[in-house]
Structure 1
C-alpha cells in the first residue's frame, strides 16, 4: 500500500534526528586524526632510507632529507666526453639531439625510494591502514608538495572555466534533480559552458533513459577539499535532490593531505549527506582523475600525488561499502598525453558511467514508487517565506527595468502559445510584480489575486484550463471580471533554490495545454531563469 506524503516526509525528518550526534562524532574523529598525525610525526625525526648504491641502509635526519629533496629539484646532469677515447669527432648526447623526443621528468633515485619507504612507525588506534606508511615522509614532503602545487594551481588559473549560471537542464517534464558537488571534473576544465562539460553530458545521459527532464545544480570550486567539504554545503537544502554526485580529491592529493584526515572527512561527508537527504536519494562518490593527465601536475611531484590519490581511493571505497545509499564509482583513467583541459569525450564517458550509477534510483517515466518520490514530495512542499523573500531581495530586480533578453523570452512565450498575454512575475511580500509583460501593461497587484503565488507553492508547472470551474480561482476578481480564464505557469528559482516568481501565459478564453506545450513552457522558464541569474551579483549567482 502506498504511503501518504506525510508519512514519507516523516521518514525524511526521522533520518535527521541523528545528524547532530553524527557531526559531533565526525568532528571528534577529525581532531583525533590531526593529533595522531602530529604525535606520529614528532615521535622520531629519523627515517631509514636505503641507498641506491650498495643497497646499504643509512639514517638521515629530516633536515638532511630536505636538503636532498632540494638538490633533487635540479638533478646533476652527466656531461658526455667532448672527445672519444679513440679520437675522431666529438660525440653528442642523444638526449640533446635536435630530433630527440623529450622524456617525462623522473624523480631522483633517492626520492623514489623515499616515496615508497615504509617508516618504522605503527598505526595509531583507529587510524586507517595507510597512515603508518605515509606520516613520517609526509612531514618532509608536505611543505615541498604544497609549494609545488601552489605554482601548478597558478598555471591552472589560465585554463578556461565554464561561464554562465551553475545549473543545466535537459528537456522534458517531471524533471529529476541532481547535485554535482566538489572540485576537479565538476569545475569543467576547458569547457566554455556547463552544457558542454560534465553537468550537461550527465543531464542528457539521464534524460535519454528516463524520458523526463533533468535539472542539475552545480556547486563546484577548486577550493573544496575533503576537510572543508561539509562546510561548503551549509545553507543548501539537500532533501530535494534525487541524486548527489561528489568529485573531490585532486587538491588533497597534490597537497599531500594526511590519509587519516581524509578518512575522517569522508565519514563526516557521507554521514552529513545521508542525514540531510531523503532515503530515496542516491549518493555517488566519483574517483579522483589521473593526476599526471593534468599538464600542470605532470612532473615527478605528480607521481607522489598520484600515490597519495591511490591511498585515498582505497579509503573511500572502504567507507562507501559500509553505506547502503552511497556508492563509490571508479572513473576511467586517460592514457592520452597530459592536457590543460578535459576533452569532451572524457566528459561524455564519465557522464555515461555516473548516469548508470544513479539511474536505478530514478524510476522510468510514469512508474514512480512511493519510496522513489520522497525527494520530489519535498520539492513540491511550500517553502519558508522569510528566506524566500530574502532570496528575491538579494537579486535586486524588484521594481527595476527588465533586461532585453527577458522581454524577448516573454514575447516568444506569448507567440508560441497564441495567448492574449504572457508575463514574468515576481512575488513579493504581499504583492505580485509584472517584471515583464507582453500583451498588456505592467502592473502590481495584490498577492491574494495572484495565480503565480499559487504556482510557486510547488516545483512543477501549474495549468488551469478554465478558472471559472476551478475551486481555487473561481472567486478571483480577475476571473469574475473576465480578465483571466485560462492560465499556465512555471516557477522561477533563485540561485539558492527558492521560488521567487513564474513565467506564465494567460488568456480570456478557456483552453487546454498539451504535454508538448507544457514542456515548451518549462524550457522558456529555464531560459528566463538563466537570464536572471546572469545579471545577479556574483555572490548571489554562485548559489
Structure 2
C-alpha cells in the first residue's frame, strides 16, 4: 500500500517543488565554496557534504552558517585548528554526491560529515535506491580516504517550517524523510569507520522569516559533541613526494592560471605583513611547478623563481601541516643547499601549504631568516592564518575568472 501511495504522491511532490522553487532560491544563503576555518595549530581537515541545513539558508556567510559553527566548536573541543571544506548544493542527492566526491582528493581529510536526504525526500526518491546510493558513497570514502578518516552520517532532517517554503506539503516530505532515515543503518553496515548520528532538533520554532546564526551554532554543538572523541591524531611523519598524485597536482596548478602572472599588491602586502610580524629577513608566496619554484609575491629578496630541487617549499607541499626548519645547517636535507651555503645564508624557514579548490597542495606561504630560531605554536597559527588569507584570494580570483 505504501509503494502505491508513494507512486501516486511522487509526481505531485515534484510539481509542488517546482512551484516552490522560486521562493526557495530567493532565500538568502552564502555564495561561493570557500568553507570556514578556526585558528589553531595541527589543524583537523573536515569535509561537509550535503543539502538543506548544510547550504546555510538565512545567512550570507559560511562562517555564520554550519561550517563556521562546526569549525569553531570542533576547535574548542579538540584544542586544534580546523579547516572545513564544502560540497553543498540545494538539490544535492546521494547519487550526485557520489560523483562529486569521486572528483575530490579525499586522502587529505580527517573527517567527512554527510548531511544528505532532504532533497531526496522532497523528490520522493525510492528508498531502496537511496540506500544503495548511500552505501556506494560510504564505500568510496572508505577506499579513497586516508586510513584515519572518520565519516559521520546525519539522519535526514525535518522539512524546515519557513514561510516561503510552506508551498511544499511538509508532512509528506517528513514522512518520506523518515523512510529514508530508516534505510541508513543498513547502508552504514560494513563501514567500521562510519558513525550514524541523529539530526539535532531545531533549536528554535523557525517560523521567523529566515533561519539565523544561533540555529547553526546550536546544531554545530550537537553535531560536534560525538565527533571530537573519535578524531585521533594521525602519524605526523612527513611523507615523500607522491608521484602518482603529482600530475593531478600540476593540473590543479595550471587551472589556477597563476603562473607567470604580474605582481599583485594584495599578495605583496601580505608578505610584507608577515616579514614585519615575524621579524624575518624575507617572506614569499610561492607556487611549485613541475621543475621550478615560482614566486607570485616576495618581500626581502628579488628572485622570481628557483629550481624546484633546492626549494624548501617543495617539502611544505608534501603534507597538510606547516613545515619548519629551525636551523638549516643542522638539517641534513639542507646542509648542502645553495641557499644555505651561498650569500643568502638561509638558516630558518617556516612554510604553510596553499591548497587549490580541488584539494591539491600547489604552493606555500613562507618566511625565511638568516639566523636560526624557534617557531612557537602561536606563530604557527599566525602563519597558517596568513596562508589562508592568500588562499582565499586565490580562490576568489578563480571564481571571478569562471564567470567572465
Return the TM-score normalized by structure 2. Answer: 0.92
What's the counterpart of residue 115 of structure 2? 247
Quote the Cα distance in structure 2 between the aligned partners of 1:381 and 1:295.
54
Contact 1:281 1:361 in 2 (8 A): no
What's the counterpart of residue 158 of structure 1? 26
What's the counterpart of residue 505 of structure 1? 367
Q: Aligned-pair distance for 1:271?
A: 2.5
SS of the residue 1:500 aligns to: strand
May I ask how many residue pairs the two structures share in their alignment?
399
Quote the Cα distance in structure 1 between the aligned partners of 2:136 and 2:163.
32
Contact 1:165 1:530 in 2 (8 A): no
User: 1:278–1:462: structure 2 CA closer, same or farther, 3 Å change rule?
Assistant: closer
Q: Aligned-pair distance for 1:278?
A: 3.9
User: 1:477–1:388: structure 2 CA closer, same or farther, 3 Å change rule?
Assistant: same
Q: Aligned-pair distance for 1:249?
A: 1.3
Alignment of 1:67-216 (within 5 A): 119=1, 133=2, 135-216=3-84
What's the counterpart of residue 492 of structure 1? 354
Alignment of 1:326-405 (within 5 A): 326-334=194-202, 336-339=205-208, 341-363=210-232, 368=233, 373=234, 380=239, 382-383=241-242, 384-405=245-266
What's the counterpart of residue 176 of structure 2? 308
User: 1:300–1:172: structure 2 CA closer, same or farther, 3 Å change rule?
Assistant: closer
Quote the Cα distance in structure 2 between the aligned partners of 1:211 and 1:319.
33
Alignment match of 1:415 (pick from 268, 276, 280): 276
Q: Aligned-pair distance for 1:227?
A: 2.8
Quote the Cα distance in structure 2 between the aligned partners of 1:298 and 1:511.
62
Alignment of 1:406-445 (within 5 A): 406-445=267-306
What's the counterpart of residue 3 of structure 1? none
SS of the residue 1:432 aligns to: strand
Alignment match of 1:220 (pick from 88, 94, 97): 88
Contact 2:108 2:359 in 1 (8 A): no
Quote the Cα distance in structure 2 between the aligned partners of 1:188 and 1:403.
32
Q: Confirm whether residue 446 of structure 1 aligns to residue 314 of structure 2.
A: no
Contact 1:287 1:331 in 2 (8 A): yes
SS of the residue 1:491 aligns to: strand
Alignment of 1:264-343 (within 5 A): 264-299=132-167, 301-320=169-188, 323-334=191-202, 336-339=205-208, 341-343=210-212
Quote the Cα distance in structure 1 between the aligned partners of 2:303 and 2:14.
57
Q: Aligned-pair distance for 1:386?
A: 0.9
Q: Aligned-pair distance for 1:139?
A: 2.5
User: 1:385–1:161: structure 2 CA closer, same or farther, 3 Å change rule?
Assistant: same
Quote the Cα distance in structure 2 between the aligned partners of 1:435 and 1:157.
38
Quote the Cα distance in structure 2 between the aligned partners of 1:314 and 1:172.
38
SS of the residue 2:366 aligns to: strand
Q: Aligned-pair distance for 1:247?
A: 0.7
User: 1:444–1:322: structure 2 CA closer, same or farther, 3 Å change rule?
Assistant: closer
User: 1:158–1:209: structure 2 CA closer, same or farther, 3 Å change rule?
Assistant: same
Quote the Cα distance in structure 2 between the aligned partners of 1:455 and 1:275.
26
The 10-residue stretch of structure 1 (412-421 or 341-350) with the greater mean CA deviation from structure 2: 341-350
SS of the residue 1:426 aligns to: strand
What's the counterpart of residue 395 of structure 2? 533
Quote the Cα distance in structure 2 between the aligned partners of 1:151 and 1:166.
31
Contact 1:286 1:330 in 2 (8 A): yes
SS of the residue 2:349 aligns to: strand
Quote the Cα distance in structure 1 between the aligned partners of 2:90 and 2:375.
44
User: 1:278–1:440: structure 2 CA closer, same or farther, 3 Å change rule?
Assistant: closer
User: 1:246–1:300: structure 2 CA closer, same or farther, 3 Å change rule?
Assistant: closer
Give me the CA root mean square deviation.
2.2
Unaligned runs of 5+ in 2: none
Quote the Cα distance in structure 2 between the aligned partners of 1:311 and 1:339.
28
User: 1:243–1:472: structure 2 CA closer, same or farther, 3 Å change rule?
Assistant: same
Quote the Cα distance in structure 2 between the aligned partners of 1:174 and 1:213.
6
Deviations 1:187-210 (CA, angstroms, capped at 9, x unpaired): 111222211111111011111121
Contact 2:33 2:85 in 1 (8 A): no
User: 1:182–1:273: structure 2 CA closer, same or farther, 3 Å change rule?
Assistant: same
Contact 2:357 2:395 in 1 (8 A): yes
User: 1:316–1:526: structure 2 CA closer, same or farther, 3 Å change rule?
Assistant: same
User: 1:181–1:433: structure 2 CA closer, same or farther, 3 Å change rule?
Assistant: same
Unaligned runs of 5+ in 1: 1-118, 120-132
Quote the Cα distance in structure 1 between the aligned partners of 2:26 and 2:239.
41
Quote the Cα distance in structure 2 between the aligned partners of 1:354 and 1:501.
33
4+ residue stretches of structure 1 with deviation over 6 A?
538-541
Contact 2:38 2:71 in 1 (8 A): yes
Quote the Cα distance in structure 2 between the aligned partners of 1:193 and 1:509.
42
Quote the Cα distance in structure 2 between the aligned partners of 1:344 and 1:157.
19
Contact 2:13 2:168 in 1 (8 A): no
